[in-house]
Amino acid sequence: MTDSPVRPTSEVPVALELNGEHVRATIPAHRTLLDMLRDDLGLCGTKRCCAEGECGACSVLLDGELVNSCLVLGAEADGGALLTIEGVSMDGVTDLQEEFLAAGAVQCGVCIPGQVMAAEQLLQTNPNASRNEIRDAMSGNLCRCASYQRIVEAIQNAAAGRRTDA
Amino acid sequence: MASYCRPRTVSEVLTALAGAEGHGRILVGGTDLLVHLRKDPFAPTVIVDIKSVSDFPPAVEIGDDVVRFGPTARMAEISSDPFIADHLPALCASARVVGSIAIRNRATLIGNICNGSPAADTAPALLVYGSSVTVTGPGGERTMPLVDFFVGPGQTRCGPDEIVIRVDVPIPDRGHRSAFQRLTRRRGVDLATVSVAAGVDADGGIVLGLGCVGPTPLLTDASPPVDLNDPDAIEGAVEELVSIATPISDVRAARDYREAMVRVLAVRAVQAAAAPLEGMSS
Amino acid sequence: MPDENQGPSSNGQIAGPNRVVGQRVHRYGGVDRVTGAQRYLSDITFTDAAHVAFATVPVGCAAIDAIDTSPAVAMPGVIAVVHADDLPQPVARFGISHKDRPVIATKAVNYHGEPVVAVVAETEDEARAAANAVVIHYTELTGVYGLDAALAGDARLVQDPSVRPGDDLNSTNVLEQVEYAWGDADSEGASSHTIIEDTYMFPMVTHFPIEPGGIVAVPTDDGGIEVYSPVQHPYLLQRTIAEVWSIPLSRVRVIAPDPGGGFGGKQTPRYEPLIAFLALKTGRTCRLVLSLEEAFQMMRRSGCRIHARTGFTEAGELTFHEMQVDFVVGAYADVAPRVMTKGSYVGAGPYRIPRVSINARAVLTNTVPSCAFRGFGAPQVGWATESQLDAGARALGLDSLEMRRRNLVQHDEAFIRGDYEARADGRWHESLEKAAELIGWHEPTPSGRGRGISVGIKPGATTGLSQSMVRLLYDGSAMAYAGTSDMGQGARTLWKQILADELGVDLDLITIISGDTNAVPFDLQTSASRSTVFMGNAVLAACEDIRDRVLELYAEATETAQSELSHAPGQLVTPSGAISLVEAAQTALGGLRGEFVGQGTSRLWGTKGHPLGGDASFYEFNATAIEVEVDRVTGEILLTKHVTVGDVGTEINPLQVVSQDEGAAIMGLGHSLMEQMLFDEHGQILNLGAIDYRIPTFNDVALEMQTASVENHDGPGPYGCKGISEGALLCTAGAVGAAVADAIGTPVRDLPITAERVWRTIRDANCDSPD
Ligand SMILES: Cc1cc2nc3c(=O)[nH]c(=O)nc-3n(C[C@H](O)[C@H](O)[C@H](O)COP(=O)(O)OP(=O)(O)OC[C@H]3O[C@@H](n4cnc5c(N)ncnc54)[C@H](O)[C@@H]3O)c2cc1C
Ligand code: FES
Ligand code: FES
């Protein structure tokens, strides 16, 4: 950050750990983390739809927590650790992603990266989630193709798989 | 063009706000502020990100008589705190329904009330518990009851060069019970059409906090003691109390529906508060 | 990977060695979609692209008095600021049935959100900031925002008569009208025991694709243009650009990245001619990425008001059905006239009705132009017809399943009579019975709950042309070229399955090329759930063409008489036994290698004079049953069960059938329970954006949901399949409405059935009742 934290700047330098790598960018103050990822850092796996926190297409994990990247400024991510769908998929398709495919959860697919991020966080925080808990926890992620039943099935199967692996 | 800063102390926050000449906006969770910024991205807003301030009160501090919330207390923490679930169940329940998990991971309690929306979900519960708000600014520190903090839609008693430094929620007596009810247009994540928090004290006196039925969240007077086993008595008391509601018609609902629903939810909230007396730990 | 279980019977086709048709093959392109690697339009990078933003006015109807672009022109990064006066005059208009939509708003704004000024700048921020700085001086006019206003005698005309020269209706706001009638009005009077008459409303709803969309236009060195747009009909877009800007088709290349959700909303060109103009004018690649709000202002389903009068015998047999159907189509025609004619053609439902009379109108208003949307007019009209049947059942004390049993046509029985009759092409009673069985219709309804059952039909495509090319390469891999856009229905997965079986090629070795007019042969459109049937048949034919060619060349190479050879899926049968087609192909191609190229065409000629242009190639039929619990005090509805059964012919990929059916069924809950675009008195959209326009979430799905298919292998597509993917949405509203009426004792006639409407209905019923 700048040496005088009280002096506001319209161009903000940002340094963060992105999917395990250190990256830097200088961005306008109003630029969201979502736009920074897509436009400045060239990572387009995180999708934009509503741009106001309603759809979850832009879900990422910031310091291990699920957030809507359209509601976080790029500047706020300075010093943080960010995991995006590209990071999740770094070593190929994960068990969870495989279950998405097997359950027929992928229609147009544009909401899916966000769904995967939200589901991944859910599996980590509540590995034994019931069907209703899954539905509730995932309700911030819209799918207009309405793959909802398929996604619930995929999460349940992935959770079951992780339990037997554990 | 917007600009951004990240002060480390409360006094730096005040300096930044003072320097912004009315354009300063405090940023915590950003779940309201970024929605506003998106509508007007090129205004000369000075964004004052307070998440790195080191001399705030802790996010959640449980004292003997009060639970104190600092500016960084988030819905996620509040809704999963066992002490709050036990002693401030209406607050816990309302924090749990704010937005989605991703929203609750960012959204703060103080942000919720500072945004000044009549629909702020945590406001009715905070009102019912008799919470107070402490504001700090160039003129020093002031503490006021939350009910006085709200002025109108989007307007509070926190000036453009001030910051809300804490919210204190008195821990109710053992015999006090409370509950939260809200009505939405769909079952998944939604803003409230009407919300009600009810507090019932040991004698059966009822206090209600009402959301979305006035220009600000509303707090009713306390009713005289009511026989909580008598549904008609509850209904009668509620009818009196909710007469302060002045709902309007908007895109979420028409006025008459809100008028009817505030009564329904209030009765249900009182009944829910009254119900689980036996076997409860508090 | 396909899983182990065997697919359904092959309807007389010989099973090839790798029989994958009928199996749960994973979606083609699925891996890219789960890993975020799939490139939707806004994910594609263009070097040196300039960005476009629009400016407009905050009302639905206005005269543009003057435009001051100077503050915008002076802003950093601005390349061009363009409005109607900057275009070749007169400003071109385009459209499918009516050439009524101007390239950019010309002298007037006809709906909230119509672009008036386009700014081109170096960055997105600069374009937006400059668009904000443009000053548009306008005079608000009294727009017509609802049906009554539009149809009033002195109503302002949404379109100047000069836009529709020679049209008898051009001095009214009726864009088109149609009448369907059969039967003799005098004959049924005595036989009707009960007559039901009511009015029903279906809301304007928007597609809300999670990819709002966008357009990129790249000027080419030869004076042509490349247009990137996630359109469902690339060839229609190519033709539109060529016609509007007088460029030969050969120099207009349309590249259509897979849409991130289409649902009918991404079929027709809207802003593409404008973006193409900006690119040609500035010589720069011009990129427009839409916000969700802009998508709302670009696509919606037409709202509808239906007045219906229906007669029943005492036994519940329909005697007549009359409807006045008014579609609220918006400011420009788009495909709305066809939505109106097609939706009302099947308006009387799949029933045996001696007399029907349907008058339908497409009515212009100062609102977002409506377009195709899953179901294409059938859900709107079906809502009224299904509700009328239930009202009849209630009046007669009949069970609503029984009501449908008595009236639903049998296989091959006419449900549309008169000059252009249509007969049931499926055994629809089977779907109805299955839906009833799955919801447990014969078990008592738990107290506090209500149940409804409903059916819907929709005509499939009535004319069509799909062309496909398939290449079988020397190493045993294969490629198919098919213009169908893959917006979520997973079309390419099906082509892969067909190739795998017909050519005996491994699924992993198949590539599908689509979405580029320079590479892929002509396909009329991706709509009306036509692709599996039309393009499927074309792909199948191309595979057969390859097998013929392999046979011929194999005969030549091995000096075998052609008459001693035959082929079957995946195989060449030689005098010494069957060998794999790939092996045969390699032998035939010999040392020079090379490849086989097959062509397939699937064409459906229309019928002259037919109101739809021709007979439907198939009907999508669905039965939906729903159980709800209603909070009678707040009006809130909890869906406890939701069952849909589709008459699919054959499931080529059961996994995709389930996804499509569930998806359509849940989408149908949107207009049934919560979705509606709301306008204020200035024609502004009140719930513009995701915060107040509600669509179903995970939590809004029924507690129990089940979809099922009836497979009689009786469709016109490959292996006896029919089109699917709209069916499960056709009668959702009818079933929800019936279930709510069953629970509260009174019907709700206006969609969406919000808690507030249920509350109001109960309250009004209590006021009306004598006690
Ligand atoms: C998708 C979505 C769903 C939502 N659902 C709900 C819901 O169900 N119920 C509900 O009540 N709300 C909801 N909200 C609104 C929002 O999440 C809450 O109001 C939230 O609590 C705001 O907190 P924040 O930390 O994000 O505030 P910010 O956006 O950071 O700030 C909000 C406002 O308060 C001011 N402010 C913040 N902190 C201080 C301070 N310490 N002193 C002075 N001023 C301050 C800011 O300047 C700003 O004006 C939703 C929002 C979104 C985007
Ligand atoms: S784009 Fe961020 S939540 Fe919709
Ligand atoms: S798969 Fe299309 S939006 Fe979810």
Q: What is the CATH number of the domain that holds C317?
A: 3.30.365.10
User: What's the number of CA atoms in the CB half-sphere (13 Å) around residue C407?
Assistant: 33
Q: Which domain holds residue B205?
A: 177-274
Chain C positions touching B188 (Cβ under 8 A) are 696-700
Residue B54 in any domain: the answer is no
Q: What is the pLDDT of residue C525?
A: 63
Put the strands of the sheet holding C194-202 in their side by side order: C174-182, C355-364, C318-330, C303-312, C194-202
C270, C298 Cβ separation under 8 angstroms = yes
CATH code (residue C87): 3.90.1170.50
Residue B218 in tokens: 């509303």
Tokens 């730990």 correspond to B281
Cα C526 to Cα B153: distance, rounded to the nearest angstrom: 48
Rg (C-alpha) for chain A, rounded Å, is 17
Residue C649 in any domain: the answer is yes
Window from B213-222, C259-268, C716-725 with minimum mean pLDDT: C716-725
Q: What is the pLDDT of residue B5?
A: 97
Cα B250 to Cα B254: distance, rounded to the nearest angstrom: 6
Closest residue on chain A to B33 (Cα): A71
C-alpha C663 chain-centroid distance: 13
Cα C328 to Cα C567: distance, rounded to the nearest angstrom: 54
Q: What is the pLDDT of residue C463?
A: 81
Put simply, whether C70 touches B (Cβ < 8 Å) is no
Tokens 């007396």 correspond to B277
Buried b (16+ CB within 10 A) or exposed e, C371-406: bbbbbbbbbbbbbbbbbbbbbbbbebebebbebbeb
C-alpha C236 chain-centroid distance: 16
Residue C151 in tokens: 């149809």
For C252-275, the DSSP string reads EEEE-PPPS--TTTTSS-SSHHHH
Q: Give me the CATH code for the A95-165 domain, please.
A: 1.10.150.120
Residue B223 in any domain: the answer is yes
Please state, for a pLDDT cut of 70, what percent of chain A lies above it.
96
Q: What is the pLDDT of residue B230?
A: 95
DSSP conformation class of C717: S
pLDDT, mean of residues C737-748? 97
Q: What is the residue type of C373?
A: F
Tokens 């990137």 correspond to C228
- The neighbours of chain A, by the rule of 3 or more Cβ pairs under 8 Å, are B, C
The pairing of beta strand B46-49 with beta strand B24-27 = parallel
SS (HEC) of C310-378: EEECCCCCEEEEEEEEEEEEECCCCCHHHHHHHHHHCCCCCECCCEEEEEEEEEECCCCCCCCCCCCCH
Q: Which of residues 116-155 of A touch B (CB under 8 A)?
A: 118, 121-122, 137, 139-141
Put simply, whether C300 touches A (Cβ < 8 Å) is no
Residue C427 in any domain: the answer is yes
The answer on C744 and C667 residing in a single domain is yes
Q: What is the pLDDT of residue B93?
A: 98
Residue among A69, A144, A148, A150 with most chain C CBs within 10 A, to mutate? A144
C726 is catalytic: yes
pLDDT digits (tens, 9 = 90+) for B138-181: 999 999 999 999 999 999 999 999 999 999 999 999 899 999 99
The answer on C375 and C452 residing in a single domain is yes
Contact between chains at C33 and A109 (C-beta distance less than 8 A): yes
DSSP conformation class of C104: S
Cα C683 to Cα C112: distance, rounded to the nearest angstrom: 6
Residue ending a domain, choose from B127, B147, B170: B170
The answer on C389 and C328 residing in a single domain is yes
Domain A11-88 annotated CATH 3.10.20.30: yes
pLDDT, mean of residues C71-87? 98
The answer on C416 and C321 residing in a single domain is yes
Q: What is the pLDDT of residue C7?
A: 35
Chain A positions touching B103 (Cβ under 8 A) are 53, 68, 71, 140
Distance from CA of B50 to the nearest CA of C (A): 26
Residue A130 in tokens: 């019931």
pLDDT band at C769 (very low <50, low <70, confident <90, very high): low
Task: Identify the CA nearest to C409 among candidates C437, C390, C392, C428.
Answer: C428
CATH code (residue B253): 3.30.390.50
pLDDT, mean of residues C54-65? 98
Residue ending a domain, choose from C251, C275, C296: C296
pLDDT digits (tens, 9 = 90+) for C504-524: 999 999 999 988 999 887 776
Rg (C-alpha) for chain C, rounded Å, is 27
Q: Which of A6, A28, A137 sits opposite B7 (nearest CB)?
A: A6
The answer on B155 and B82 residing in a single domain is yes
Q: What is the pLDDT of residue B25?
A: 97
User: Which ligand places an atom closest to the C-alpha of A118?
Assistant: 2
Distance from CA of C36 to the nearest CA of A (A): 4
Residue C187 in any domain: the answer is no
**Domain coordinates in residue numbering, chain A:** 11-88, 95-165
Residue B75 in any domain: the answer is yes
Q: Is C93 exposed, middle or buried (0-12, 13-18, 19+ CB in 10 A)?
A: middle
pLDDT digits (tens, 9 = 90+) for C3-15: 333 333 333 343 4
The answer on C455 and C507 residing in a single domain is no
Put the strands of the sheet holding C62-68 in their side by side order: C108-109, C62-68, C135-140
For the cut 60, the answer to whether the pLDDT of residue A68 exceeds it is yes
C304, C297 Cβ separation under 8 angstroms = no
For the cut 50, the answer to whether the pLDDT of residue B282 exceeds it is no
The answer on C556 and C471 residing in a single domain is yes
For chain A, the DSSP string reads --S-TTS-BSEEEEEEEETTEEEEEEEETT-BHHHIIIIIS---SS--SSSSSSS-TTEEEETTEEEEGGGSBGGGGTT-EEE-HHHHTTTS--HHHHHHHHTT--SS-TTHHHHHHHHHHHHHH-TT--HHHHHHHTTTS--TT--HHHHHHHHHHHHHHHHHH-
Q: Which domain holds residue C18?
A: 2-38+464-604
Q: What is the pLDDT of residue A4?
A: 58
The Cα-based distances of A110 to A101, B264, C279 in angstroms read 14, 41, 28
Q: What is the pLDDT of residue C526?
A: 60
The total number of structural domains that make up chain B:
3
Q: Is C591 exposed, middle or buried (0-12, 13-18, 19+ CB in 10 A)?
A: exposed
C237, C225 Cβ separation under 8 angstroms = no
DSSP conformation class of C685: B
Residue ending a domain, choose from C296, C315, C350: C296
DSSP conformation class of C575: T
Tokens 């709700």 correspond to C748
Please state, for a pLDDT cut of 90, what percent of chain A lies above it.
93
Q: Is the CB of A55 under 6 A from ligand 2?
A: yes
The answer on C637 and C519 residing in a single domain is no
Tokens 């329940």 correspond to B93
Q: What is the pLDDT of residue C522?
A: 77
pLDDT band at C534 (very low <50, low <70, confident <90, very high): confident
CATH code (residue B27): 3.30.43
DSSP conformation class of C446: P
Cα C165 to Cα A15: distance, rounded to the nearest angstrom: 62
Residue ending a domain, choose from B170, B191, B225: B170
C305, C341 Cβ separation under 8 angstroms = no
Residue C638 in tokens: 């909890």
CATH code (residue B118): 3.30.465.10
Contact between chains at B2 and A7 (C-beta distance less than 8 A): no
Cα A112 to Cα A105: distance, rounded to the nearest angstrom: 8
A62, A82 Cβ separation under 8 angstroms = yes
| Residue C580 parent element (H or E) | strand C577-580
Residues making up chain A, counted from first to last: 166
Put simply, whether C753 touches B (Cβ < 8 Å) is no
pTM of the model: 0.96
Q: What is the pLDDT of residue C121?
A: 98
Q: φ and ψ at B273, to 5 degrees?
A: -65, -40
The answer on C469 and C387 residing in a single domain is no
pLDDT digits (tens, 9 = 90+) for C456-503: 999 988 888 888 999 999 999 999 998 777 766 678 899 999 999 999
CB atoms within 10 A of CB A64: 12
CB atoms within 10 A of CB C6: 9
The answer on C94 and C213 residing in a single domain is yes
The answer on C624 and C597 residing in a single domain is no
Q: Which residues pair with C708 in a beta bridge?
A: C645
Residue B55 in any domain: the answer is no
Q: Is the ipTM of this complex over 0.90?
A: yes
Cα C524 to Cα C366: distance, rounded to the nearest angstrom: 30
Residue ending a domain, choose from C535, C570, C604: C604
Residue C721 in any domain: the answer is yes
For the cut 50, the answer to whether the pLDDT of residue C365 exceeds it is yes
The answer on B255 and B197 residing in a single domain is yes
C477, C657 Cβ separation under 8 angstroms = no
Chain A positions touching C662 (Cβ under 8 A) are 146-150
Residue C200 in any domain: the answer is no
Task: Identify the CA nearest to C585 among candidates C539, C541, C543, C553.
Answer: C553
Residue C74 in tokens: 């002076």
Task: Identify the CA nearest to C455 among candidates C727, C179, C108.
Answer: C727
Report the phi/psi class of residue B194: left, alpha or beta, with left for phi > 0 and alpha for psi in -120 to 50: beta
The answer on B66 and B166 residing in a single domain is yes
The total number of structural domains that make up chain C:
3
The answer on C398 and C539 residing in a single domain is no
Residue B105 in any domain: the answer is yes
The answer on C316 and C425 residing in a single domain is yes
What is the CA angle A158-A161-A164, rounded to 5?
Answer: 155
Q: Is the CB of A133 under 6 A from ligand 1?
A: no
For the cut 80, the answer to whether the pLDDT of residue C18 exceeds it is no
Distance from CA of C666 to the nearest CA of A (A): 6
For the cut 50, the answer to whether the pLDDT of residue C760 exceeds it is yes
Tokens 């004052």 correspond to B48
User: Average pLDDT, whole number, for chain C?
Assistant: 93
C461, C528 Cβ separation under 8 angstroms = yes
Q: Is the peptide bond between B231 and the residue preceding it cis, with omega within 30 degrees of 0?
A: no
Collapse the DSSP code of C223 into the 3-class scheme (helix H, G, I; strand E, B; otherwise coil) and give the result: coil
Q: Which residues pair with C479 in a beta bridge?
A: C471, C511
